[in-house]
Structure 1
Amino acid sequence: MPARSLFFSTRNLAAWPQGVQCNFKVLCRMNMEERNSSLVVELSYPDLVIDVGKVTLGERNRRKLLQKTEREQETEKVIKAACALLNSGGGVIRLEMANNDEHPVEMGLDLEESLRALIQSSNLLAFFETKQQGRHYYIFVKSWSSDIFPEDSSFKPRICSLSSSLYRRSGTSVVPMDSREAFNFLNKKRDTKVSRNEPCGKIVRVIHKDLCNSDPTYQVFQKDQLEYGEILPFPESQFIEFKQFATKHIQEYVKNIIPKYVSAFANAEGGYLVIGVDDKTRKVLGCAKENVDCDSLKKKIEQALYKLPCVHFCQSQCNIDFTLKILDVLADGKLYGYACVIEVKPFCGAVFSEAPRSWMVKDKQVCSLTTQEWVDMMMDTDPDLLWLCKDFESQLSLSNRPPLSRPVYSKKGLEHKKDLQQHLFPVSPGCLKRTPKSLWKELSSQNEGLEELINKQIYPFSQGILILSRSWAVDLNLEEKQGVICDALLITQNSPPIFYTILRKPDAGGQVYCTHTALTLKQKLVNVGGYTGKLCVMTKVLHLSPESNAESLEGSGSLIDYPRAYDLVNTQQMEVLLQSLVIVLLGFRSFLSDQLGCEVLNLLTAQQYEIFSKNLRKNRKLFIHGLPGSGKTVMAVKIMEKIRNMFHCEANKILYVCENQPLRNFISNKNICHAVTRKTFMNKDFKNIQHIIIDEAQNFRIENGDWYEKAKTITQSEKDCPGILWIFLDYFQTNHVESSGLPAFSAQYPREELTRVVRNADQIASYLQGVLQEVRKNPPPNIPSGSLQMLLEAEWAQGVQGTLNIKENLTLDQIVTHVTDTCKRLFERGYSPKDVAVLVSTAKEIDCYKPKLWRAMRKRRVVQFTDASDMAGDHIVLDSIRRFSGLERNIVFGIHPQTMGSAISHNVLVCLASRANQQLHILWRRNI
């Protein structure tokens, strides 16, 4: 077979090499009654390792020593393991040689051809490397990615599958759909618009003009009986299939042939499966009555039909529409036996013969994908949203990426993943750097002998980067282990990545911790970071003895000798891997995910990451001042996740406190903490709380007591191990003139600042800058002027075009008309009600606008409103600016009275403008 990549189509099965044909057919006949495999992933390696047991290797051995069924069973184990690893981030298949050869042997032609059929390519090295070590034979599996297919290929499968289990009609034949055909077929079905109230049967055309009432086909199948030996007046066609009854095991035979024929008819324009007619002569033969029980046969067929997996793309969840008739077959006027006719109507979705043949690793086991999982993954694409593409820059597209990857976007104008990599993890020619420098200096000074120990480990390497962390486990959202001085990841040339764990003293659990952390890192680099190269992570566990400064290796979790293809050979490969690491460490679930209906990741800025990566044990109390739109709430969520992992906390040990119910509800839905408002915090006891995160603290009050003192008391209740108290605030968004209860500005120490504004489109950001300057020049009396000087350090992300629309001197009716007409246009352009918020100055004004807006929206058949407490609902939010604090929407309408003279008038405008991502409409209402 030529070395170039091929896309095997089952339509051209006859053109495949004979061995590939044989093995593909064998594998497609594997019994799938048991969907979960007995194959399990071993836990003692920093990779997914599946032991498939004894396998006979070598072409001659497999043909000489094994029966056909034995070869099929061994092939099945290997193919399942290979497919599961391809779809799960890659890994290793371990085989024990069943034959007794003393010298190395090849895998075996049938196994190689089965693997080629699996990846739909003749180039095995694109995904597989092999190595024999003693009696063990290893198949190293790279994660699936479709970059092996030509760039001009119209379709690149998102996942690896042995069979789609979808069938179609081709003339008088039934043909399985390959991945390309399945994708196109499913896309066509999905794109078909189906009315919510229209039954599925009405959305398809009449099967075919040949099946109308005047056609002899239709007339014949309206009969209740046929004559033995009569010749039917029509041949097989795209809509007719003749089959004879089997001579033995009749019911099992009928049950087994039904799935692919019914799938083919249902996925096309319908048709008839006729059992009991010879396909060559069209002669009615039936099945002798003494050989079959009519009622039992009918029940068996119905059961087989109802078991067929289906996927819908419409609102209706209808079943397969079929008519089953058992016809009497007469001979000389007497009952001879029976024939069977199944009329299948076109299906609105997709009908499978069985669940698609594709596997993944789930909960350490090799499991089959369900039909719905397979369809979701097969059709998984980047969000097709024009407004998202205008405002965001793709950092990681699903195209050519591993199956479990999610799309990653960053706001335009912010650092690209390459820029972040160069800033955080630079690779310099001929130099091996240690980073972060401050942590390296601190660790070296605190742990005598550590520098010597690490230098000894990295001595052989001359180029790359050593990335240190007090706990890589916490960085990867795992639990921290006590006794770990630090972890270090070495990315260097001519070597795979090496993960070191340095313990203070020998610990039996050190290797388990190191192995598990390295495995998680490897999986995330592929499945989150989108790395498509061949990747493994070697591990080393060291301990530092304070008495002797001696090194002690506890052994290595990397007992498998990986091929040289897994080494990073040049600077380019190292940087590509480090860019995937940037996504792993700086990625977070975007707040846009709920709006889009799919998971999308954003990246922290370098400034945010530097604060996030602080040592929590040394920064138990911290004030974070952030400009509007600098990502304070994002940081609050990330810090709570870090607290949970570092201190082994349950969610009920972490308290999130804010001023307003909508923001409380928004955070509460993330299930990472116990979220309350400031008022609830002051009115209840929180004896079990260990850590507290305060958000939007500038809007707190002291009407219910000294909240700051209470928070300090709770977090400092354990003198030996005080909790975390981080307070996020922005004085520019203060929405009252009373005391906030915060300590004096000079006492807010230690303090960090977020000055990189990342939220707003350029036009909105420009307007916001002007209003912020007004606040800085004329601050309300309750705001310390020194706190506003951070505006001088502000950086604004640029490059996102938006809309700023300011209208003055409007009547109430004009305001209502502007909001409803604009929303109607936006929704016609593809925006969702989830994108829109209408904000008024005070809660009292909501009752003034709501009835009129509701009537106008209803008249234009737009949508209804809800308040900000239901941010997840598919509604326009109508609420006050104050209650919307800490939240955001793409499009914001702000309604104000014409005269808004107060000490905080500009602060209110800051609060309003900073809530809008793309479009801001400020509507000033005329004085009455």
Structure 2
Amino acid sequence: MKKRNSSLVVELSYPDLVINVGKVTLGEENRKKLQKAQKEQEKIKVMQAVCALLNSGGGVVRMEMANKEEHPVEMGLDLEESLRELIGLSDLQAFFETKQQGRCFSIFVKSWSSDLFPGDSSIKSRICSLRSSLYLRSGTSVLLTDSREALDFLKTKKRNAKSSSGEEPSSKHIRVIPQGLCKSDPVFPVFQRDRFEYGEVLPFPESQFVEFKLFTKHVLTYVENIIPNYISAFANTRGGYLFIGVHDKSKKVLGCVKENVDPDSLRNRIERAIYKLPYVHFCQSSCGINFTLKILDVFAKGELYSYACVIRVEPFCCAVFSEAPGSWMVEGKHVCSLTTEEWVDRMTDTDPGVGEKDLSWLCNDFESQLSLDNGPPLSRPVYSKKGLEHKKNLQQVLFSGLVPSEHLRYTPEPLWEELSSQHEGLEELMKKEISPFSRGIFILSRSWAVDLDLQEKRGVICDALLIAQDSPPILYTILGEQDAEGHDYSTRTAFTLKQKLVNMGGYTGKVCVVTKVLYLNPESTPESLEGPGSPIDYPESYNLADTQQMEVLLQSLVIVLLGFRSFLSDQLGCEVFNLLTAQQYEIFSKNLRKNRELFIHGLPGSGKTIMAMKTMEKISNVFYCDADKILYISENQPLRNFLSKKEICNAVTRKTFMNRNFENIQHIIIDEAQNFRTEDGDWYEKAKEITQRKKDHPGILWIFLDYFQTSHLDCSGLPPLSAQYPREELTRVIRNADPIANFLHTTMQHIIRNPPFNIPPESLEMLREAEWAQGVRGTLKIKKDLSLKQIVTFVADTCKCFFERGYSLNDIAVLVSTAREVDTYKHELLKAMRKKRVVRFSDACDMSNDHIVLDSIRRFSGLERNIVFGIHPRAAEPDISNNILLCLSSRAKQHLYILW
């Protein structure tokens, strides 16, 4: 269970994490005068706050000087030494700066990152800890591991558990007794006894496997205090014996006189202390600590005189701790300790696929944009498909202009021109504000809050982020009129930006975001508003020193703005982010209020569904609406179910949409619209009526479609191409491996030469603008003239090969032409697959469970799998045979098998 430190207050009125620790005595001479208990209490309070900020993206520790004088003082040698021990570096300025203002003393804390430490990144600690609580036995000593040693130990245990996971289940529970605990050892016969003689000398000394301790006056408390360290150390090493009541030098058995201890109470206290020890498993076992406790009688001259205690500890398969590790994080308004499981998970966290042959495809298909190796503790890995723009290239595309010459650039220029023409005095106000800065970039947005997935604030004309040399990042919020809530909005936005730059964007330098709120009053001179309270006065080291620092920060900003939770996250079992392409971001960043209706034509694999999801999230923030006000419509039920689980909208099929009223809906997103039909009525007119109920404030209607993937010859209900305005195009194909992408290109050219009559030929001209992400290896095999038995045998054999390479059931889809064929192939496939491996088939309505999808090509529209088998991909209407083949082929990310 997590502990909260109630004496540490997280202050929420600043654009940074600020922890107030209360009164602390500062100055070397002042701290020398403190009583030991108070000195230790103050030090722990400060160290917990610092540790929490190191692990949470950085921030400021504030304290009030408990000593009376207000002249500048140093922090105190004991506090400085504790900070050095905490980070493991002698140079405090690598992570800390300090400032004193009157009686207020501040420690500015940079986020933890291991890039400052030399050596192998695989044994660099991912988080900062006050202590590991992980003990090991070394010779006759019990040693507390530091973070590096603990990480090495945990990774070794995790690696050993993984390498032994292929053993038979029964072998995992076989007890292995190492040398030192075997029956031939001299300790074993002694352990078998049930009594000693007072003063008896044991026939063995202390060793790797033996520890002697004497009882003290406070028997139960003493035993309870030594149990955690010694028992965990023996369990983590090779097992051993803890004798209590034996003198370590003379090896004489003395025990604890019987009048001072009750043997039952002693047994209960020891067992309770051992059962309380936290442990973690990397293996499949769930067993606890294996020990044997014996309370032995000690006789003197034939009479019971005292009691001795022996605890035999078996080696533990994974890791045992003396208590929960001492590591802290900020969670909302509280400073909380990590549980043992959380600490181990964060310590051993690695990029997915590292050292795992099962995930080698990840390295083959994707390029790392942000690795966990040297990232901040809360950062997650970021990947982009090979062949797409790297974050450095995206930074140049979105935020170019950081040139050596003296120059400050406004971007995006069209937005700046629009804003300055609409708002009199804005240009003069901003020129005045940024006149001291000569080199950098001024990034405008109608709402930086919306860009950061926060809610928009009414009355904000725009926000602008200044990234300039010799300055910290500054977020300007320009209001139309004075607003008491303007500062809260700006502070919240700047706070989120700073946190995301570090914890999502992976920025490891010293960083802050300063806020400045301005307002334009058309009847008076534009003014700058002072915020409530005193702003944080950051040290100069938080200024961006040169172009290189600015570019690194902007690359983190690229990840913040273009990053989205990857569909790979569920497959890999960990949070992974991908990046939008520049083309996707350009459409996504459009002003929703000026683009309430938009048609987005996207080639197969260009990311239309991702764009639909991101757009719905943006709608929620711009228009202050809950998910039940946003409607997502698809033609097929599986895609509907897939979006429903994202909990960002109300998702229905086109048929359901036509059969129900949607009185609460304000905004509509339509996906795969080329496959819609008018059999139940004019869906387009109904969608327009719903979104235009409020004439003064119409809702959003964005329609995503791809005429190339039209799978029928009926009327789609889409307006004529000339009426699909405004219109945008997604021509960057990012989903498929190279051989599959080449096949798609060829198939689309066939469609252009022989388009179905219900597709406007001019809509297919966008293929000329197509770009294909290159560099991803994959498979395309086309086999013809196969019998039913040959088809199912090929699928079964190929799946078996993929399973042996580490692929899972939910990597695979088997797609047939019609829903009626599903049952036929399911029966035959199950017979063939049972000979290879126990498998499960299901339709595409639930993509999250561990099964092979077996469904029709049409019902799988909009979804994807790594491996796709297409069986007889034909259409009842010959005119759309190429379209059906394209629908099938575009669903495969890596490996495609077309079987005729």
- Report the Cα distance in structure 2 between the residues aligned to 1:196 and 1:165, rounded to whole angstroms: 31
1:496-540 deviation line (CA, Å, top 9, x unaligned): 000011111111111111111101000100000000111011110
The reply on whether 1:111 has 2:79 as its aligned counterpart is: yes
1:597-656 deviation line (CA, Å, top 9, x unaligned): 111111101110011001111111111111101100000010111111111221111111
1:283–1:564 CA distance, 2 compared to 1 (3 A): same
Q: Is the 8 A contact 1:54 1:97 kept in 2?
A: yes
The reply on whether 1:423 has 2:394 as its aligned counterpart is: no
Q: Is the 8 A contact 2:634 2:671 kept in 1?
A: yes
- Report the Cα distance in structure 2 between the residues aligned to 1:489 and 1:111, rounded to whole angstroms: 37
In the TM superposition, what is the alpha-carbon distance from 1:337 to its structure 2 partner? 2.5
1:132–1:200 CA distance, 2 compared to 1 (3 A): farther
Range with greater deviation from structure 2 (319-328 or 456-465):
319-328
Letter of the aligned partner of 1:175 in structure 2?
Answer: L
Which residue pairs with 2:827 in the alignment? 851
The reply on whether 1:343 has 2:319 as its aligned counterpart is: no
Q: Is the 8 A contact 2:4 2:334 kept in 1?
A: no
1:413-446 deviation line (CA, Å, top 9, x unaligned): 1111111111111123321111111111111111
The reply on whether 1:168 has 2:142 as its aligned counterpart is: no
TM alignment of 1:226-305, pairs within 5 A: 226-248=196-218, 250-305=219-274
Which residue pairs with 1:405 in the alignment? 379
Name which of 567, 574, 586 aligns with 2:550. 574
The reply on whether 1:821 has 2:800 as its aligned counterpart is: no
Letter of the aligned partner of 2:727 in structure 1?
Answer: R
Letter of the aligned partner of 2:37 in structure 1?
Answer: T
Name which of 51, 65, 70 aligns with 2:38. 70
TM alignment of 1:833-872, pairs within 5 A: 833-861=809-837, 863-872=839-848
Name which of 766, 773, 795 aligns with 2:771. 795
Question: Any gaps of 5 or more consecutive residues in structure 1?
Answer: 1-31
In the TM superposition, what is the alpha-carbon distance from 1:200 to its structure 2 partner? 7.9
Q: Is the 8 A contact 1:540 1:556 kept in 2?
A: no
- Report the Cα distance in structure 2 between the residues aligned to 1:823 and 1:201, rounded to whole angstroms: 29
1:411–1:897 CA distance, 2 compared to 1 (3 A): closer
1:151-182 deviation line (CA, Å, top 9, x unaligned): 45662111111211111110111111222221
1:892-916 deviation line (CA, Å, top 9, x unaligned): 1111168976111000111011111
In the TM superposition, what is the alpha-carbon distance from 1:37 to its structure 2 partner? 4.8
Which residue pairs with 1:307 in the alignment? 276
Q: Is the 8 A contact 1:809 1:898 kept in 2?
A: no
Which residue pairs with 2:473 in the alignment? 497
In the TM superposition, what is the alpha-carbon distance from 1:549 to its structure 2 partner? 4.0
- Report the Cα distance in structure 2 between the residues aligned to 1:333 and 1:858, rounded to whole angstroms: 72
Range with greater deviation from structure 2 (273-282 or 117-126):
273-282
TM alignment of 1:399-548, pairs within 5 A: 399-426=373-400, 427-428=402-403, 429-548=405-524
In the TM superposition, what is the alpha-carbon distance from 1:704 to its structure 2 partner? 2.0
Q: Is the 8 A contact 1:691 1:725 kept in 2?
A: yes
Which residue pairs with 1:327 in the alignment? 296
TM alignment of 1:591-610, pairs within 5 A: 591-610=567-586
Which residue pairs with 2:126 in the alignment? 158
1:108-148 deviation line (CA, Å, top 9, x unaligned): 11111100000011111110111112211111111011111
1:370–1:473 CA distance, 2 compared to 1 (3 A): same
Q: Is the 8 A contact 1:359 1:368 kept in 2?
A: yes
In the TM superposition, what is the alpha-carbon distance from 1:204 to its structure 2 partner? 4.9
The reply on whether 1:389 has 2:363 as its aligned counterpart is: yes
Name which of 146, 149, 161 aligns with 2:114. 146
Q: Is the 8 A contact 1:472 1:487 kept in 2?
A: yes
1:199–1:253 CA distance, 2 compared to 1 (3 A): farther
- Report the Cα distance in structure 2 between the residues aligned to 1:341 and 1:911, rounded to whole angstroms: 71
- Report the Cα distance in structure 1 between the residues aligned to 2:462 and 2:606, rounded to whole angstroms: 31
Q: Is the 8 A contact 1:495 1:568 kept in 2?
A: yes
- Report the Cα distance in structure 1 between the residues aligned to 2:194 and 2:661, rounded to whole angstroms: 78
Range with greater deviation from structure 2 (692-701 or 893-902):
893-902
Range with greater deviation from structure 2 (123-132 or 682-691):
682-691
TM alignment of 1:694-709, pairs within 5 A: 694-709=670-685
- Report the Cα distance in structure 2 between the residues aligned to 1:890 and 1:610, rounded to whole angstroms: 28
1:577–1:246 CA distance, 2 compared to 1 (3 A): same
Q: Is the 8 A contact 1:694 1:727 kept in 2?
A: yes
The reply on whether 1:207 has 2:178 as its aligned counterpart is: yes
Q: Is the 8 A contact 1:840 1:896 kept in 2?
A: yes
Name which of 597, 600, 616 aligns with 1:640. 616
Q: Secondary structure at the match of 2:647?
A: coil
- Report the Cα distance in structure 1 between the residues aligned to 2:449 and 2:834, rounded to whole angstroms: 53
Q: Secondary structure at the match of 1:810?
A: coil
Q: Is the 8 A contact 2:782 2:899 kept in 1?
A: yes
Which residue pairs with 2:728 in the alignment? 752
In the TM superposition, what is the alpha-carbon distance from 1:484 to its structure 2 partner? 0.8
- Report the Cα distance in structure 2 between the residues aligned to 1:484 and 1:627, rounded to whole angstroms: 37
Range with greater deviation from structure 2 (610-619 or 300-309):
300-309
Letter of the aligned partner of 1:660 in structure 2?
Answer: N
- Report the Cα distance in structure 1 between the residues aligned to 2:802 and 2:814, rounded to whole angstroms: 14
Letter of the aligned partner of 2:624 in structure 1?
Answer: H
TM alignment of 1:872-883, pairs within 5 A: 872-883=848-859
- Report the Cα distance in structure 1 between the residues aligned to 2:124 and 2:876, rounded to whole angstroms: 58
Letter of the aligned partner of 1:403 in structure 2?
Answer: P
Range with greater deviation from structure 2 (333-342 or 302-311):
333-342
In the TM superposition, what is the alpha-carbon distance from 1:202 to its structure 2 partner? 2.9
The reply on whether 1:123 has 2:91 as its aligned counterpart is: yes
Count of paired positions: 890
- Report the Cα distance in structure 2 between the residues aligned to 1:478 and 1:206, rounded to whole angstroms: 57
In the TM superposition, what is the alpha-carbon distance from 1:866 to its structure 2 partner? 2.1
Range with greater deviation from structure 2 (330-339 or 157-166):
330-339
1:736–1:196 CA distance, 2 compared to 1 (3 A): farther
- Report the Cα distance in structure 2 between the residues aligned to 1:682 and 1:296, rounded to whole angstroms: 74
Q: Is the 8 A contact 1:200 1:318 kept in 2?
A: no
Q: Secondary structure at the match of 1:629?
A: coil
Which residue pairs with 2:333 in the alignment? 364
Q: Secondary structure at the match of 2:541?
A: helix
Letter of the aligned partner of 1:296 in structure 2?
Answer: S
Letter of the aligned partner of 2:240 in structure 1?
Answer: G
Q: Secondary structure at the match of 2:50?
A: helix
Range with greater deviation from structure 2 (483-492 or 687-696):
687-696
1:572-603 deviation line (CA, Å, top 9, x unaligned): 11111000000000000111111111111111
1:297–1:818 CA distance, 2 compared to 1 (3 A): same
1:477-503 deviation line (CA, Å, top 9, x unaligned): 111111111111000011000001111
1:203–1:133 CA distance, 2 compared to 1 (3 A): farther
Name which of 740, 764, 767 aligns with 2:716. 740
Which residue pairs with 1:28 in the alignment? none
Q: Is the 8 A contact 2:731 2:767 kept in 1?
A: yes
In angstroms, what is the RMSD of aligned CA positions?
Answer: 1.8
- Report the Cα distance in structure 1 between the residues aligned to 2:352 and 2:175, rounded to whole angstroms: 29
Q: Is the 8 A contact 2:472 2:511 kept in 1?
A: yes
1:654-704 deviation line (CA, Å, top 9, x unaligned): 111111121111111111111111122222222222211111111112222
Q: Secondary structure at the match of 1:849?
A: helix
Q: Is the 8 A contact 1:525 1:584 kept in 2?
A: yes
Letter of the aligned partner of 2:83 in structure 1?
Answer: L
In the TM superposition, what is the alpha-carbon distance from 1:816 to its structure 2 partner? 1.4
Range with greater deviation from structure 2 (724-733 or 97-106):
97-106
Letter of the aligned partner of 1:358 in structure 2?
Answer: S
The percentage of counterpart residues that share the same residue type is: 72
Range with greater deviation from structure 2 (260-269 or 511-520):
260-269
1:789–1:188 CA distance, 2 compared to 1 (3 A): same
Q: Secondary structure at the match of 1:869?
A: coil
